[in-house]
Structure 1
Amino acid sequence: MKLATRLQALPRDARDTLFLLAVITLLLLPQLPNLPWWCSGLTVVVLIWRGTLAVQARPLPGKWWRAALLAITLIATYATHRTLLGRDAGVTLVVILLALKTLELRARRDAFVIFFLGFFTMLTNFFYSQSLPTAFAMLLALLGLLTALVNAHMPVGKPPLAQAARTAGWMALLGAPIMLVLFMLFPRMAPLWGTPNDTMTGRSGLSNSMRVGAIAQLALDDGIAARIKFEGPVPAQRNLYFRGPVLSNFDGRTWTAAPLFENAFMPLNLRVDGEPVRYEVTLEPSNRPWLLTLDATPIKPELPGYRVFGTSDLQWLANRPIGDLVRYSAESYTRFLSGPTGRTAALQPYLALPPGSNPRTAQLAAQMRSDPALAGATTSAFVQAVLQRLRTGGYSYTLDPGVYGDDTADAFWFDRKAGFCEHIASAFVVLMRALDIPARIVTGYQGGEINGVDRYWVLRHSDAHAWAEVWEDGAGWVRVDPTGAISPDRVGQFRRLAPAPGLFSGAIDAMSPTLAQNLRAAWDAVNNGWNQWVLNYTQSRQLDLLKNLGFETPSLMDLATVLLALLVVVSLAGAGWTLWERSQHDPWLRLLGQARARLRRAGIEVPEAMPPRQMAARVAERFGDSARPLQDWLLRLEAQRYARTPAAALSALRAEFRRLAWPR
């Protein structure tokens, strides 16, 4: 209460300045994680400085101070980003310029510059996130900026901010239909920038390379990677392997994908069995070119705005990184075989190992080859022998294995005997290759969970997984998941690993695990609705809308035609509403004005403020009894306006007005 009283006691300029600074703070808060630390710090200092000057009614800093701060900003921006152009450097400069502009906020013109710079800064938040919380925060910032803009146009004195806020709210509501029409029909365009983020910081997810043993502890990322809507029955969780990058080149520590030209020599030879699984994938932005599909997908998914091509290792790739939310349909078979059925030279790269690496694993392979029980064994027999070793050899699945040395397979098989899926898959493939069995690592997602609210199947980054494929004579490439031998619960997600809960979610989970699960499912469903109906409203969905309106083969020209037609209809409706509003605006005064104009044409001077009774007296003085009907009409017009029981309805007076004989 004391604070409100103190604010009311401030001069209007100080109060309006503080409100504008509060709006700018709200506008910049979501942007702080994306800014360099010095930019965030300098912005906070400048805004606090400007607020202090407003409260204490002290003069603003001179131009040399502002010039020095601007120079420091330019130098620091260039030192941080090595450029003054581009998304990150541009956003940094815009934020600092918005803060510095408040230091010369003296006149209304300066306020208008801040308003429109604030609107632009508000848009830059969507360069980094288009999530529902960001949109809600920017809606509040928009209403705050509109309130400040309306307040700047209000008369002198201290008009209440609530009045300006109501006006701003009505402005937003009136503009909402236009915004909705433009959203539905304005041509969709790709984002100006992607959001690269692949620093291999030890968080779960997918990458085009896998450096084994370099991460001491894996932090599970509970963010959503994709949502899947199955058309029919959902396959068993143990069969839900969503394929990502296939890694076949190994230098002793790092697995990488083979160049595309190398895969060209490997025959696809995909053979599927059973009924297909049809589904729709909503893929979150990854800044990577691969499309997640359920193993295996023989038909190319259609992705509007991208060219999609397949590889011989069953991957589907887009022609450019996917930097925005996309949606596509696919058809897969969970029972399949692929690759050559006989030994060919194309399999040789899948046997390669760095010379001298992992000597103890090579020795283990030699021992298995010389074991009488495995003499002449098939690939399947060797695979089962290795899986049995994993089951009974004291191996464990952990997210905290520590940092491995150079010979990662040796460390896993003989020393650590613990690791997460990348350690297990890598050690397994190295041993298979040492046994002269072609093998490779496949990365992707396994399992997932269904959202009970919207019935979408959700894949999180914590579901990222690595498994192996070995080549068998007569069959081709066959999936083997060695992690399942150590931790069967990991495959199928019956007891999935989860990241440590935060303070708030942990408190809710402690009180009621069911409530926490339901809240999370509801929030995921709301986010999914936002993604499906807003972020993923693509050009193809616009054209589908035109199909529903009766267009057989809609095009962008049809879209432009419909938008133009709507603009014309809205314009005509606005003109009609204006005419109607004018006709409804005090029709009695309008009829009196028409009578006044007719009398002036008859030569009678009638001031604007003259009432009908005096007008009737002027008519009597000028024309006598010959104009008696006109005098009576004017008296009845005044009676209709002021009498408790009007002598005549206004419509009747209007009709009589057209029949009167006006003197000349």
Structure 2
Amino acid sequence: MTLRQTFASLPRDARDTLFLLFVIVWVIAPQVGNLPGWATLMAAGLMLWRGWLAWKGLPLPSRWTLLVFVAAAVAGTLFTHRTILGRDAGVTLIVMLLALKMLELRARRDAMVVFFLGFFTMLSNFFYSQSLVTAAAMLVALVGLLTALVNAHMPVGRPPLAQSLGTAARMALLGAPIMAALFMLFPRMAPLWGVPSDAMAGRSGLSGVMKVGTVAQLALDDSVAMRVRFDTPDGAAPPQRDLYFRGPVFGSFNGTEWLPLSYGPGDLRMDRLPTLANLRTEGEPLRYEVTLEPHKQPWLLLLDAAPEQPRLPGMGLFMTQDLQWFSTRPVTDVLRYQAVSYPRFTHGPMAMTPALRTYTELPAGFNPRTLALAQQMRNDPRIAPDPAQDNTVALVEAALTRLRTGGFVYSLDPGLYGQHTADEFWFDRKEGFCEHIASAFVVLMRALDIPARIVTGYQGGERNSVDGLWTVRQSDAHAWTEVWMAGQGWVRVDPTSAVSPGRTGAFQRLQAPQGAFATAVGTLSPGLAQNMRAVWEAVNSRWNQWVLNYTQSRQMDLLKALGFESPSWQDLTMVLGFIVMTFALGGVGWSLWERSQHDPWLRLLARSRRRMAAAGLNLPDNLPPRSMAQRVQAQFGAEGAAVADWLLRLERLRYAPNANAAHAALADLRREYRALRWPKADPNRS
């Protein structure tokens, strides 16, 4: 006997329970990465236990046993999260309660509780991800829960699951228009849950702190960081070497970490203030639109340099003195904003100021060999022929030449660095990724008494052939430097391009090892793999733009398109109420129409039964017309002869072989029904 046959032979309760169990597992599965390990194991064990009990027809555990598991789940949640409130603790607890409730599934009331917990758990998946994959998986979960709910309301017999699935699918389709209307017009609200923790350590991407040498191997993350649409006739982007999207700027170094300069009230000493931006632009501006993926940090990513505030309604934005744009809250949702940048620009003071000395400071006791190298370069007449002159340009070029010709390697696997990271890079390992190279370069510049800092962000991008958008990935995360030069201000210097010119010029990236499936597809058909990736990213981009990025401003734009000159929340509520009322009236009309489409022969028979009841003859609902005619003849005699004859002809019509003739005959019987002289109620008739 096959598994399908075995499943079909199970009792109705066991079959329905196993189906519901499968749906609940599907709902919980995406939460595995968000749950503590003990919660995942406990939920899996409870589900397997419940499935075994249903398969074997064994009794459910006692309530005392369930109470022990509930206490363990609450204790585990408190131990892990130190609370039972909040997003993470709440999701953990609700998953545990759902799994435990399956072990208490004895009556329909218990099933209703499971359904409601299942719908809430399904919703909680969106607390962590609003991706297209998550939405598709939860759509399947929704149909599965609706199927189980419909099945629970069919208590008689063994209705096939396909029948319940069809009913559930029709319910979902009928509700889709009102769901779409609510999505488009229901007021947009900020997320009610907390901000997820940062999980970028050890992977490419941006962080608020740059630790040098603590990651032995960098794993390239090919996930999308942002998408860019350039406002040019052909959507063309500037050259790859100019695509520097500015992120966190680090000006403070403690020997192992690079940190941003603090702008808090306690640091507002004149000798510690960062130098003013003094941004000066020239040439034609570059206009573009960015769709930024959530990164749980407050910064925005814009091309150097953006003097104007990006267009992002509903969020407070400001630019720091080192040209970095921030929002007033972390970016936890997909953002879309328009910006204007000038590829040709200068910024910073033209002459040395006390504030610039901040960018020459180094911690004591670190990198002695790099300090000695700097002194050697200072004393080298080939590099600095006149110590009294400003030799900044020559010293910078000498450092870059050393990177080009000294056997340095751009690598994702440099190993762990020790205390003196710059010394190890310059003299020992001579390999690293962009953070190592930029950090060692800035340390050398500061040892030469040249103001320098590290800028992180993204460099490069690739054009999607399907939708024309430029895709910037986490693997495009990059670190470069800015060196201050008299008369020029802050000048971008990318030391990584000296080690590996293809990193910024020809757009050559180091490749991380791929999985077996991706490797096989890429080997068999490189073009197919690339096209599949482009199509998927184009579809995902549309999802981000039209669903995740459907903001308050776009709601108001929709009302303007509908004819509202100055739309407000009152207008939004009015339109939403009108649509809901229209759908409600449409539902009422549909119900009435559907009732009219029921078997007209049965409706006519029911009407005749009601006329007999009004005359004092109550006939059972299951009585056929022939038996009804006999009862009428016996009750009313000659007075009911015409009605009895009409009932007999109504019965013969039921089995008429010609459907068209039967339809015409039914219309004739309906007219006769209205013309018949029906018997009257007689209180003296026994």
Q: Partners of 2:586 and 2:16 in 1: how far apart?
A: 38
1:164 paired to 2:164: yes
- The residue that corresponds to 1:213 in the other structure is 213
Q: Which amino acid aligns with 2:106?
A: R
Contact 2:496 2:503 in 1 (8 A): yes
- The residue that corresponds to 1:445 in the other structure is 458
- The residue that corresponds to 2:331 in the other structure is 322
- Report the CA distance shift for 1:590/1:4 in structure 2 as closer, same or farther (over 3 A): closer
1:371 paired to 2:380: yes
Q: Which amino acid aligns with 1:544?
A: D
**How is 1:26-425 mapped onto 2 (pairs within 5 angstroms)?**
26-198=26-198, 201-232=201-232, 233-261=236-264, 266-373=275-382, 374=384, 375=386, 376-425=389-438
Question: What is the Cα deviation at residue 425 of structure 1?
Answer: 0.7
Q: Which amino acid aligns with 2:71?
A: A
Contact 2:178 2:580 in 1 (8 A): no
**How is 1:244-643 mapped onto 2 (pairs within 5 angstroms)?**
244-261=247-264, 266-373=275-382, 374=384, 375=386, 376-585=389-598, 621=638
Residue 298 of structure 2: SS of its match in structure 1?
strand
Contact 1:222 1:498 in 2 (8 A): no
- The residue that corresponds to 1:14 in the other structure is 14
Percent identity between the two aligned chains: 61
Residue 328 of structure 2: SS of its match in structure 1?
strand
Q: Partners of 1:421 and 1:647 in 2: how far apart?
A: 83
Residue 226 of structure 2: SS of its match in structure 1?
strand
Q: Partners of 2:550 and 2:285 in 1: how far apart?
A: 28
Residue 299 of structure 2: SS of its match in structure 1?
strand
Question: What is the Cα deviation at residue 620 of structure 1?
Answer: 11
- Report the CA distance shift for 1:403/1:635 in structure 2 as closer, same or farther (over 3 A): closer
Q: Which amino acid aligns with 1:421?
A: C
Q: Partners of 1:244 and 1:546 in 2: how far apart?
A: 36
Q: Partners of 2:120 and 2:345 in 1: how far apart?
A: 52
Q: Which amino acid aligns with 2:367?
A: N
Q: Partners of 1:391 and 1:357 in 2: how far apart?
A: 25
Deviation string 1:136-177 (CA, Å, 9 cap, x unpaired) is 211122111111111111133322212111111111111111
Question: What is the Cα deviation at residue 663 of structure 1?
Answer: 11
- Report the CA distance shift for 1:519/1:594 in structure 2 as closer, same or farther (over 3 A): closer
Deviation string 1:523-572 (CA, Å, 9 cap, x unpaired) is 11121121112111122211111121112222222111110011122222
Residue 441 of structure 1: SS of its match in structure 2?
strand
Question: What is the Cα deviation at residue 355 of structure 1?
Answer: 2.4
Residue 168 of structure 1: SS of its match in structure 2?
helix
Q: Partners of 1:58 and 1:641 in 2: how far apart?
A: 49
Unaligned runs of 5+ in 2: 681-686
- Report the CA distance shift for 1:214/1:551 in structure 2 as closer, same or farther (over 3 A): same
Deviation string 1:593-629 (CA, Å, 9 cap, x unpaired) is 778888998x7979697689999999995599xxx9x
Q: Partners of 2:655 and 2:63 in 1: how far apart?
A: 64
Q: Partners of 2:467 and 2:496 in 1: how far apart?
A: 31
Contact 1:366 1:435 in 2 (8 A): yes
Q: Partners of 1:463 and 1:591 in 2: how far apart?
A: 74
Question: What is the Cα deviation at residue 656 of structure 1?
Answer: 9.5
My pick for the range that moved more, 74-83 or 570-579, is 570-579
Question: What is the Cα deviation at residue 586 of structure 1?
Answer: 5.3
Question: What is the Cα deviation at residue 654 of structure 1?
Answer: 7.6
Q: Partners of 1:368 and 1:168 in 2: how far apart?
A: 77
Contact 1:16 1:148 in 2 (8 A): yes
- Report the CA distance shift for 1:639/1:417 in structure 2 as closer, same or farther (over 3 A): closer
Contact 1:613 1:638 in 2 (8 A): no
My pick for the range that moved more, 584-593 or 69-78, is 584-593
Q: Partners of 2:141 and 2:664 in 1: how far apart?
A: 54
RMSD of aligned Cα (Å): 3.0
Residue 166 of structure 1: SS of its match in structure 2?
helix
- Report the CA distance shift for 1:98/1:617 in structure 2 as closer, same or farther (over 3 A): closer
Unaligned runs of 5+ in 1: none
Q: Partners of 1:122 and 1:84 in 2: how far apart?
A: 19
Q: Partners of 2:115 and 2:517 in 1: how far apart?
A: 36
Residue 187 of structure 1: SS of its match in structure 2?
coil
Contact 2:484 2:491 in 1 (8 A): yes
Q: Which amino acid aligns with 2:422?
A: A
Residue 503 of structure 2: SS of its match in structure 1?
coil
Contact 1:640 1:647 in 2 (8 A): no
Contact 2:291 2:336 in 1 (8 A): yes
Deviation string 1:566-595 (CA, Å, 9 cap, x unpaired) is 112222223333444445545677678778
Q: Which amino acid aligns with 1:305?
A: G
Residue 444 of structure 1: SS of its match in structure 2?
strand
What number of residue pairs does the alignment pair up?
A: 659
Deviation string 1:354-404 (CA, Å, 9 cap, x unpaired) is 123222222222222222232224422221121111111111111111111
Q: Partners of 2:544 and 2:662 in 1: how far apart?
A: 61
Contact 1:636 1:647 in 2 (8 A): no
Q: Partners of 1:556 and 1:548 in 2: how far apart?
A: 15
Question: What is the Cα deviation at residue 249 of structure 1?
Answer: 0.5
Question: What is the Cα deviation at residue 659 of structure 1?
Answer: 9.7
Q: Which amino acid aligns with 1:480?
A: V
Q: Which amino acid aligns with 1:214?
A: T
Contact 1:230 1:278 in 2 (8 A): yes
Q: Partners of 1:579 and 1:198 in 2: how far apart?
A: 55
Deviation string 1:193-241 (CA, Å, 9 cap, x unpaired) is 2443335531111011111111111111111111111111310111000
Residue 467 of structure 2: SS of its match in structure 1?
coil
Residue 320 of structure 1: SS of its match in structure 2?
coil
Contact 2:87 2:194 in 1 (8 A): no
My pick for the range that moved more, 96-105 or 241-250, is 96-105
Contact 1:83 1:89 in 2 (8 A): yes
Contact 2:20 2:148 in 1 (8 A): yes
Residue 276 of structure 2: SS of its match in structure 1?
coil
Q: Partners of 2:89 and 2:163 in 1: how far apart?
A: 38
Question: What is the Cα deviation at residue 332 of structure 1?
Answer: 0.6
**What is the TM-score normalised by the length of structure 2?**
0.88
Question: What is the Cα deviation at residue 9 of structure 1?
Answer: 2.1
Contact 1:409 1:426 in 2 (8 A): yes
Q: Partners of 1:415 and 1:597 in 2: how far apart?
A: 102
Q: Partners of 2:9 and 2:666 in 1: how far apart?
A: 51
Residue 130 of structure 1: SS of its match in structure 2?
coil
